[in-house]
Amino acid sequence: MLPERSRRKQIEQVVVTAEQMRQIEARIFAAGMPVAALMEKVGGAIARRVQTLYPYPQIRRVGVLVGPGHNGGDALVVARELHFQGYEVLVYRPIAKLKELTDQHAQYVKSLGIPHFEAIAPLQDCDLLIDGLFGFGMERQITEPIASDIHQLDRWSMPILSIDLPSGLHTDTGEVLGKAVKATRTFCLGLWKQGLLQDRALEYIGTAELLDFDIPTADIHAVLEAPKVKRVTSDLAIATLPLTRPPVTHKYKQGHLLLICGSRRYAGGALLTALGARASGVGMLSIAVPESLKPLLNAQLPEALVVGCPETDNGAIAQLDLPEGTDLESFQAIACGPGLTLEATPIIQGVLNNDCPLVLDADGLNILAILGTQKLSRRSSPTVLTPHAGEFKRLFPDAPSPMQDRVSAVREAAQTSKAVVLLKGARTAIANPSGQVWLNPESTPALARGGSGDVLTGLLGGLLAQATAQHISVDAIAACAAWWHSQAGILAERERTQIGVDAFTLTQFLIPVLHQSVG
């Protein structure tokens, strides 16, 4: 049996669909766990958490929204326990017919004198609402009169705690099924549900936390085998990042990265990408830029080898002019794209014909969209693509929409292109060609600034160069780069506020993230 801390670390990484959760619960029940006992365990844990977050008598009146299924049963256990702790509890129950176990709890709660209402209005003066209307697996649209009642909640100012996921959200995609509860906090039960890690769900889930009810890891592994969707946790990222070095080493053993970026028009893209790469700890950094940008890069990164290249009349790189005895195969990784402009198409064509591990971003992706992603299948070394939603649509017009289901979209894109695809967003999703998906569970709108993606490209390129030497999987290192980048944004936001986190400031918080996480 795993020690509790190790087990908890594993549980925090697991992400399931509704069908996978059904299969896992079926195994638990088949092994002898009574459904009623699990309901008591879950409801009791929620009630204790509510008391911690909203202690009596600071919060006195609690409204509990009860649906017909076991999610409603969980809510009724919470209602009963809070009643015993002195809270005034009111139950909203819009559907008369309940599942047998839920109905039994409803009868007992009624016997305690807790009032039940078919309409939502009597709960208007509550201090707190607990949403137990619909649990995981819901696929049909919420209809009247419940849809109007949920709409009414939007006009009220009290906090709402949703059990497992806000009622009205699709468990897998985060789609709003007609109408959905906008929760202040969501208690995800047992294992993380995939829909809670989709961008379009974020407006509804508030602060999400996992309430572990001790699912045996054997049951998880039996259903998932090798999990195809993983949540990137701090523990996982720190354990994966190439943070330690042998006592006897040198710079080339710690990875040699080539950046190809920048133009006279977009000089900042080259600088921000380079600063991101510097923070990665890569052993040697070479930067190919138009000749006119060389003084800027030399001044800001004196430790880097800045290669000035011939440029076009418009200030784009016309051709690579690497040092004598050096070619593209001299590097452990290449990252290119930020600030290049479409004039650099011949440069991208040349890089694609080389088999060095490669990161493409920005104009590198725009050029690839013109050339066609089928060119990637000829490469024997890995390629990482880092599109935002607009670039993704240009690269993969036949893939599922990244605005609808990011997991399906990024998985199909990776499988068809044979590349690792990092789809940027509020919940960045990363997939490899075998179908493994990683989801970064935390970020901040502070990163919605020009140049933030350039920083990520440099950081990822530097990590990839180191990972190549240390035999860390490319998709894992891309996931860790996304985590590191977002954590730097979160840390910067705490000190500078959201509007104070420009891309240059972001680079200054990359190393402090590691101090905070490792220390």
* Per-residue model confidence (pLDDT) at position 398: 95
Region 64-73: mean pLDDT is: 97
* Per-residue model confidence (pLDDT) at position 300: 96
Q: Return binding residues for K(+).
A: 71, 131, 167
pLDDT for residue 3 is more than 70? no
The most confident of 165-179, 214-228, 464-478, by mean pLDDT: 165-179
pLDDT for residue 349 is more than 80? yes
Q: Strands (DSSP E) along 383-460, which ranges?
A: 383-385, 420-423, 429-431, 437-439
Report the alpha-carbon distance of residue 447 to residue 427 in Å, rounded. Answer: 12
Region 475-482: mean pLDDT is: 97
pLDDT for residue 197 is more than 60? yes
* Per-residue model confidence (pLDDT) at position 245: 74
The CATH number corresponding to 234-518 among 3.40.630.40, 3.40.50.970, 3.40.1190.20, 3.40.50.300 equals 3.40.1190.20
Q: Return binding residues for (6S)-NADPHX.
A: 70-74, 135-141, 164, 339, 388, 454
* Per-residue model confidence (pLDDT) at position 325: 86
User: Boundaries of CATH 3.40.50.10260 in the chain?
Assistant: 4-224
pLDDT band at 247 (very low <50, low <70, confident <90, very high): confident
Please state the length of the chain.
519
Region 239-250: mean pLDDT is: 78
Residue among 383, 377, 374, 325 at smallest CA distance from 351: 383
Q: Which amino acid is at 471?
A: H
Per residue in 322-333, pLDDT (tens digit) is: 988 889 989 999
SS3 243: coil
Show the tokens assigned to 343.
Answer: 């004039």
The CATH number corresponding to 4-224 among 3.40.50.12280, 3.40.50.720, 3.40.50.10260, 3.40.640.10 equals 3.40.50.10260
Q: Return binding residues.
A: 70-74, 131, 135-141, 164, 167, 339, 388, 424-428, 453-454
CA dist 355 to 190, 319, 350, 358, 376, Å? 43, 18, 10, 8, 10
Mean pLDDT computed over every residue of the chain: 94
* Per-residue model confidence (pLDDT) at position 6: 79
Per residue in 128-162, pLDDT (tens digit) is: 999 999 989 999 999 999 999 999 998 999 999 99
| Of the listed ranges 39-43, 244-248, 331-335, 490-494, the one predicted with least confidence | 244-248
pLDDT for residue 437 is more than 90? yes
57 cis-preceded (ω within 30 degrees of 0) = yes
User: Boundaries of CATH 3.40.1190.20 in the chain?
Assistant: 234-518
Q: Return binding residues for AMP.
A: 424-428, 453
Per residue in 87-133, pLDDT (tens digit) is: 999 999 999 999 999 999 999 999 999 999 999 999 999 999 999 99
Bridge-partner residues for 140, per DSSP? none
Region 493-503: mean pLDDT is: 93
